[in-house]
Amino acid sequence: MRLLFITQDFPPDVGGTQTYAYELSRRLAARCDDFAVVAPQRPGDEAVDATLPFEVVRVQASYNTLSVKAFTPVLRLAQQRRFDTAFHVQWPTAIATLLARPFGGPRRIFVAAHGRELLLEPLAQVPLLKTFYNGLRNTVLRRVDGLFPVSRYTGHLLKARGVSPGRIRVLNNGTDPARFYPADATALREDLGLTDHKILLTISRLVPRKGIDTVLRALPYILKAVPDACYLIGGDGPDQERLTLLAQHLGVADHVRFLGRIPYDNLRLYYNVGDVFVMPSREDVPYVEGFGIVFLEANACGKPVVGASSGGIPDAVQDGETGLLVTPDDVAGLADALIRLLTDTQFAATLGLNGRQQVLEEANWDRVADCLYNWLAPS
């Protein structure tokens, strides 16, 4: 198979979809007869591309304009290198490939689905444009050859847009157990001054939908049962000021630390420094958690996880097996779940071990890439 991989999200940008694109492209390239990525230009992209064993064609385009500006490179690459299959990380760029197909572009076109891009209404204030945008999105989704949602939730969003179930194959995200694994974080605990503390950890962008405020509201109850608990928050974003003020208002600021953005290479140590990873995301349409790769990363490090039963999180967290699920915004339920894991160390360790085993056996990028390749390859 000669595969052209088109993505709006790719390193050096960071995020869940960027991780998806990066990890799958590296593995698919090794399985294909020819392979190339088409992605937008970004500051620092040359350093990233130099490390990859395949060509990355960078297009001078923004996130939103790549769907149009990718037409020429997609058609040129298909004609010059006979790419027969295109895989799009999100639906908008499939517009370029569908337009190129009659002129010698890839004959077979597939699209992944993550969540937000299926709910977004960027032109909602202009009724005619909203109708056009929704019609265009639905047309693209119905004309491509197959779709790969990352969760059952995202699959339901596709069905709601008129995609027939027979063209949908749910393919959950994975992680890399060779990058994320149990490790001794004693030195980091000492550096943080938390050697003898119980540590809750969240690593995410600081935006309201992540539910960090719910953890803060649960913290007074947790501290009554676990007085030495500390909540570490890794990441940055526009919600930090509100969260900081909320921690002060609740009287828990001394038990909360904002760590700022954690470099990717340091994530493993921070997952290992925590006793429990927690991210009780809520649905704030169009902003939803389509899956939640961070839960797998924490599980891969042998840590139990707590998430909310919203969006695609139930595909990432096996309730009672690799972690616990709570109702979004349920402060009391979240406090109970976290207290249980912080005090019942045997139960917490069992969930962490189960999570690590699940990553080793199923929820890893090698397996995801194998499944995707087998489904994409012509029969």
Tell me if 146 sits within 8 A of 166, measured CB to CB.
Answer: no
Convert the pLDDT of each residue in 164-205 to its tens digit: 999 999 999 999 999 999 999 999 999 999 999 999 999 999
The pTM for the full model equals 0.94
pLDDT computed for residue 29 by the predictor: 97
> Residue 287: which pLDDT band, with cuts at 50, 70 and 90?
confident
Bridge partners, 200 (sequence order): 231, 276
Region 151-174: mean pLDDT is 96
DSSP 8-state code for residue 319: B
Convert the pLDDT of each residue in 223-235 to its tens digit: 999 999 999 999 9
According to the CATH classification, is domain 186-361 in 3.40.50.2000? yes
Q: Using a pLDDT cut of 90, give the percent of the chain over it.
A: 92
How far apart, in whole angstroms, are the C-alpha atoms of residue 118 and residue 161?
Answer: 9
What is the Cα Rg of the chain in Å?
Answer: 21
SS3 25: helix
Q: In this model, does residue 87 exceed pLDDT 80?
A: yes
Burial-class residue 224 by CB neighbours within 10 Å (0-12, 13-18, 19+): exposed
Tell me if 195 sits within 8 A of 226, measured CB to CB.
Answer: no
> Residue 125: which pLDDT band, with cuts at 50, 70 and 90?
confident
pLDDT computed for residue 342 by the predictor: 98
> Residue 348: which pLDDT band, with cuts at 50, 70 and 90?
very high
User: Which has the minimum average pLDDT: 130-139, 185-194, 272-281, 302-311?
Assistant: 130-139
How far apart, in whole angstroms, are the C-alpha atoms of residue 102 and residue 104?
Answer: 6
pLDDT computed for residue 127 by the predictor: 85
Tell me if 179 sits within 8 A of 365, measured CB to CB.
Answer: no
Fold of the domain built from segment(s) 2-174+364-376? Rossmann fold (3.40.50)
Region 284-294: mean pLDDT is 91
Q: In this model, does residue 285 exceed pLDDT 90?
A: no
pLDDT computed for residue 129 by the predictor: 83
Phi, psi of 99 (to 5 degrees): -70, -30
SS3 175: strand
- What rounded mean pLDDT belongs to the chain? 96
Q: Both tokens of residue 55?
A: 């060509």
Cα 240 versus chain centre, distance: 21
> Residue 299: which pLDDT band, with cuts at 50, 70 and 90?
very high
> Residue 28: which pLDDT band, with cuts at 50, 70 and 90?
very high
SS3 317: coil
pLDDT computed for residue 236 by the predictor: 95
Q: For the chain, where do the domains classified as CATH 3.40.50.2000 start and end?
A: 2-174+364-376, 186-361
How far apart, in whole angstroms, are the C-alpha atoms of residue 210 and residue 208?
Answer: 6
Q: In this model, does residue 379 exceed pLDDT 80?
A: no
Region 7-14: mean pLDDT is 94
